Amino acid sequence: MIIRQAIAFDSKAIQSLLAQLGYPDLTDEEVALKIVQHEKPGYYILVAEVDEKVIGFISMHWFELMHWKGPLGRFTSFCIDESFRSKGIGTKLLESGEKFLTQKGCIKLEVTSNLRRKKTHEFYLRLGYTEDSRRFVKYPVQ
C-alpha cells in the first residue's frame, strides 16, 4: 500500500468513495476541482493506493482558533473502499494524516462523523479519540 497526496486524476476514485459514504451528488469534475482547491495552504488530501488503485482517502485542514494556543487539525472526509475495510488501511491512513497535521503544529485533532456511523465511532475510540463536544448545523435558505 502507498499513501500519497491526492491529485486531480484521483477524482473518479474519490467520487466513488464519497458515494459509498452517502454523498453521490458530486461529479468527477467537481471532485477534481475540490482536490485542486485542497492544494491551498491549510488544506490537504491523502489517498491510499493498492496496485495503482485508490482505495481510500482522507481530507483535512488546519486553522487557528481564538481560544486555542495552537492550530486545530480537522479531518473532514474519510473513507476506505468497502472491499478493503477492516484490513488496517484506515488506521494507517488516519495515522498518516495525524502525523501530517502534527508536523503542521496542530495541538488538537478532531474528526466529525455522522451520528448513524456507529462502527466508525468505535474505530475512532479504539484509536484514542474521545467524544468531547456537540456540533449544531444550519443550512441557510438560498
| Spatial separation of the C-alpha atoms in residues 105 and 125, rounded to whole Å | 23
What pLDDT was estimated at residue 17? 96
pLDDT band at 51 (very low <50, low <70, confident <90, very high): very high
Domains of the chain: 2-126 (3.40.630.30)
What is the rounded average pLDDT of the residues 107-113? Answer: 93
Q: Which of 47, 60, 62 shows the shortest CA–CA distance to 17?
A: 47
DSSP annotation string for 36-97: HHTTSTTEEEEEEEETTEEEEEEEEEEE--TT-SS-EEEEEEEEE-GGGTTSSHHHHHHHHH
pLDDT band at 137 (very low <50, low <70, confident <90, very high): confident
pTM above 0.85, yes or no: yes
pLDDT band at 104 (very low <50, low <70, confident <90, very high): very high
For the CA atoms of 122, 135, 78, 70, the dihedral, rounded to the nearest 10 degrees, stands at: -100
The per-residue pLDDT for range 6-28, each reduced to its tens digit, is 999 999 999 999 999 988 888 88
Three-state SS at 21: helix
